Amino acid sequence: MKQYFVTGTDTEVGKTYVTCHLLRAASKAQLKSVGYKPIAAGCELIDGEWVNEDAANIQQASGLALPINEINPIALKPPIAPHIAAKEAGVQLTQASIEKGLSHLESYQPDFLLMEGAGGWRLPLSIGNKTTPTHYLSDVVKALKIDVILVVGMRLGCLNHALLTAEAIRSDGLTIKGWVANDVTGNMSRYQENLASLCDMLPEPLLAEIPYQSEPAADILQRAIEQLY
């Protein structure tokens, strides 16, 4: 089984969009695929169950047909920072709970598993103080030693965001398997020049380029899966 953690340079950079494309491409390559979004904030009550739109999209894109609460076990109602939403709901965001959900999905023996984060790389699970450390979702990824896929939202400021995020991932001792350039605006000034700059500055391979609100070419996604699997 190949598994990766999908993170982004910020929130709203298309992590779920990219995750879904990769899951569907894996299924087309005859791989049993499944996505995992352990924590999601911003949910709607549907048939008595809190459902996050991103988690629902991942559920639909997965090759394995599983209940939403297995794809997204921690679903928090308000669309705010997860650690704040969890505190308001009386829920603890712990490494153990995230690992439990991951182990459950691994029991289905998928070929290809993508675990999608929330927000950026340093997403707080709990905020500490002078005597209690702050815990981040990246600490869980670090403990699990999962290789990372970095989604870069192609917009003004992305060079700084991408380089700092990649630097943080590497400093945590983790491997960036590759990165995806996702055009999130469709009107970024000097898009190609910025893309070329990222290709020069990031040593990891560009897995795929996702055009603005358009389906990427099937062969591009196929090559990405070949690099990942």
- Known catalytic residues are 37
The tokens 């500490």 sit on which residue?
A: 128
The angle that helices 95-106 and 137-144 make with each other, rounded to 10 degrees, is 50
